[in-house]
Amino acid sequence: MATLPPKIAMKDRILETADRLFYLQGIRAIGVDTIAAEIGISKRTLYNHFPSKDALISAYLERRFVRPRPSDKPPAEQILATFDSLERRFASKDFRGCPFVNAVAELGTEAQSVRKVAIAFKESRRLWFRDLLIQLGVTDAEALATQLALLVDGSIAQDLVRNDPAMARAAKDAARVLLQNAGVKLGEPRETAKRPA
């Protein structure tokens, strides 16, 4: 009963550290030695928990695949809150773009499994948007969900190079226009650049 927890803890420590280093510095830039050294374990232990670096990369990406949990808030608020959450993450110095996009950019066509999970992640977010839009009675929820997803990924890419959290607000402003154009009634924008006239 006390043998399992340390085992799990070790695996988690490895994953956690790999996640941080992979994400911040790049998958190719980080070797397994670096990860092991960062935790203070031997490389052998790492390989006892993950059969290869590829397995570690896969586990890293699966760990990053977090579904948004259901919320009671009105759908429109949920959608717009997405961009507030983005802005907060952009403000962190530890934000370095979308791990899935980065992984595809880094590993290229070589790793098909990586692209697969990246596609699944993007699609899951798009579907989350879509379901909220359906709740709002939007006619072409499919198309609008795609467009909102574009704004999310666009702001992430822009912030990655510019390091400018304002990209999230710009995306939010655009999203508001798209939503209103689709007939969604929105409350007053609370804290935008310009105060309500």
Binding site for DNA (CB under 7 A): 1-3, 6-7, 10, 30-34, 40-45, 47-49, 51-54
Nearest-approach distance from CB 150 to a second copy, in angstroms? 3
| 99 within 8 A of 142, measured Cβ to Cβ | no
Residue from 174, 184, 186, 189 in contact with a second copy (CB under 8 A): 174
Contact partners, residue 128, CB within 8 Å, separation at least 6:
67, 68
Distances 21 to 59, 60, 115, 172 between C-alpha atoms, Å: 14, 10, 20, 30
Q: How far apart are alpha carbons 180 and 184 in whole angstroms?
A: 5
Q: How far is the CB of 39 from DNA (least distance, A)?
A: 8
Q: Hey, what's the torsion of the CAs at 189, 194, 195, 197, to 10 degrees?
A: -100
Residues 85-144 that bind a second copy (CB under 8 A): 96-98, 100-102, 104-110, 115, 118-119, 122-123, 143
**CB 158 within 8 Å of CB 167:** yes
**Residue 186 touches which member of a second copy, DNA, none, C-beta under 5-8 Å by kind:** none
Instruction: Kindly identify the residues of this chain, within the stretch 16-55, that bind a second copy according to CB under 8 A.
Output: 24-26, 28-29
Closer CB to DNA, 48 or 78, in the complex: 48
* 79: its two tokens: 């959608």
Report the chain's terminal Cα–Cα distance, integer Å.
64
Residues of this chain that bind a second copy (CB under 8 A): 24-26, 28-29, 96-98, 100-102, 104-110, 115, 118-119, 122-123, 143, 146-147, 149-158, 160-162, 166-167, 170-171, 173-174, 177-178, 181, 193
